[in-house]
Amino acid sequence: MKLVGYELRKTLSGRFWWLALLFLLAANLLLYSEPWNGVSFFSWKTLSEDFAPLKEFVASASAEEYHAYIAEMEERYGEYDYFSSWDSITDDSPGRFASTMTQEVQLLAYHLNQCASFERVVGERARIETAARWAGGTAYLKNDAFGVRKSMDMIRRYAVKPAIIPALATAENSGPPFSAMPKWGWINFIDYIWGDVFAVLMAALLATRLFPMERKARPILLATPKGRRQTTAAKLAAAAILGLGMSVLFSAVTLLFIGFKDGLYGADGSILTVGAMTFTPLVATIAQTVLLFALYRVAGVVLVSLACAVIAYFLRGNLLSYIGGIVFVGGSFGYSVLIGRNPFLPTALRVLPDITSLSRPQWFFETYRAANLFGYPVLWSTVCLLFWTALCAALAGFAVWHSGYSGRRRRV
């Protein structure tokens, strides 16, 4: 551990790298806030805070209280439906859950629109379940064991029907309910990728300088095979820790900034509340999904950092190491942008060549994507994680073995 700590301190030494880190953190926040678009800085957070009293009522009210409130509002302002909002109503009298009835009517209209959207989500997922049952029956007749298992897995995931709101829950509802609270903060955090891109970039640059620095120093530890292996293992461990640190740092800074700017409300609601995750196979809350994504992001950045360190081990000199790391990371990300988005490619060719995809896990979970692994359906997110973990672990192990191989001294 002392050797790992020494490698970390040595890699992070130098004012340039700290300035580069601060620059990327600042650029990350600037790209998120987008001050050039003219939108008020706290617009989303202000609206969420205005919605809070009504949300608390919706989350805690009984069915009788909720229906009585809706009936009271419709009696006062007319029957509401999705295509006939109350936006034109003006009433400056004090509201029950807002400063004026005009504002309360607008907030309630948003809530009812959300409920209508949630009902459509439940209906669409029910159709997916029906299609899975039909596909499972067809697969059974064809003795397709994988098709049957895949259909059963889809049925298990899509049969869950969250309650629209607690007051409307029935016996068939299960899983976390939809969130009536505006959740723009969480939506933006899930969709935003620049923090992950900068974390990958910073970790890759730091990892590529681990071995070139050692070639210049030539410490006494490199004189024996055991010393060379220990030094190489310490550098690879330092690369993994750097990847972990960069991922956690950029994610934490982004999350704190989003919480400050937009608010982080509705984390206890179903992830199905988030529009891009309507067809996700996950049965989880928004908070649980964000935690899952954070683990994938950490794994992605750690594996990129480890791979770049291995590349630096086999290349000689600072310039070649940096070029090798940049070509590896840039080529991987470029493949995803230019080729990996082609829907006509097999899924394996879309995801496996891109190691950076793990740091942007949303695509894996937007819909049900599973691979046939020995006759069993396994989500592609898991397959990609296992593939790159095994590959990077094998390369790292080979580098450690190679560093002490033979009696001749190798410049690590």
- Position 167 scores a pLDDT of 82
Kindly state the percentage of the chain with pLDDT values over 90. 42
Q: Answer whether 208's CB lies under 8 Å from 11's CB.
A: no
Give the whole-angstrom CA distance, residue 214 versus residue 108. 64
Q: Residue 198 gets which letter from DSSP?
A: H
Is residue 362 in some structural domain? yes
Is residue 238 in some structural domain? yes
Split into its structural domains, the chain has a count of 2
Give the whole-angstrom CA distance, residue 39 versus residue 41. 6
Across-strand partners of 377? Answer: 372
- Position 214 scores a pLDDT of 65
| CB < 8 Å & 24+ apart, contacts of 292-295 | 292/361, 293/190, 293/361, 293/362, 294/251
Confidence of residue 409 (pLDDT cuts 50, 70, 90): very low
User: Which of 81-95, 317-331, 369-383 has the weakest average pLDDT?
Assistant: 81-95
Give the whole-angstrom CA distance, residue 37 versus residue 229. 53
**Same-domain pairing of 49 and 34:** no
Q: 197-214, pLDDT tens digit by residue?
A: 999 999 999 999 888 866
**Same-domain pairing of 152 and 224:** no
Is residue 154 in some structural domain? yes
Confidence of residue 266 (pLDDT cuts 50, 70, 90): confident
**Same-domain pairing of 245 and 386:** yes
**Same-domain pairing of 240 and 123:** no
| Tokens linked to 405 | 């191989």
CA dihedral (348, 351, 354, 355) in degrees, to 10, reads: -100
Provide CB contacts within 8 A for 88, sequence distance 6+.
none
**Same-domain pairing of 195 and 300:** yes
**Same-domain pairing of 105 and 223:** no
The closest alpha carbon to 152, from 173, 126, 133, belongs to 133
Q: Answer whether 313's CB lies under 8 Å from 213's CB.
A: no
- Position 38 scores a pLDDT of 58
**Same-domain pairing of 312 and 385:** yes
Is residue 284 in some structural domain? yes
pTM: 0.87
The closest alpha carbon to 286, from 188, 194, 358, belongs to 188
> Domain end: 168, 196, 216, which one?
168
The closest alpha carbon to 192, from 293, 335, 278, belongs to 293
**Same-domain pairing of 198 and 125:** no
The amino acid at residue 125 is: R
Q: 96-114, pLDDT tens digit by residue?
A: 888 888 888 888 888 888 8
> Domain end: 138, 168, 198, which one?
168
Q: Answer whether 354's CB lies under 8 Å from 333's CB.
A: yes
More confident site: 319 or 372: 372
Query: What average pLDDT does range 179-194 have in this prediction?
Result: 83
Is residue 411 in some structural domain? no
Angle formed by the axes of helices 15-33 and 225-261, nearest 10°: 30
User: Is 191 exposed, middle or buried (CB count within 10 Å of its CB: 0-12, 13-18, 19+)?
Assistant: exposed
Question: Is the pLDDT reported for residue 338 higher than 50?
Answer: yes
Average pLDDT, the chain: 86
> Domain end: 168, 191, 218, which one?
168
Q: 214-265, pLDDT tens digit by residue?
A: 655 555 445 567 777 888 899 999 999 999 999 999 999 999 999 888 888 8
Range of the domain at 188: 2-38+183-403
**Same-domain pairing of 261 and 116:** no
- Position 289 scores a pLDDT of 94
**Same-domain pairing of 235 and 203:** yes
Q: 27-47, pLDDT tens digit by residue?
A: 999 998 877 665 555 566 666
Question: Is the pLDDT reported for residue 80 higher than 80?
Answer: no
Enumerate helices (H) and strands (E) in the chain, giving the number of each: 15, 2
Nearest 5°: CA angle at 157, between 154 and 160?
A: 130
At residue 270, φ and ψ (nearest 5 deg) are: -65, 145
Q: How far apart are the two ends of the chain, measured CA to CA in Å? A: 19
Is residue 409 in some structural domain? no
**Same-domain pairing of 73 and 208:** no
**Same-domain pairing of 31 and 47:** no
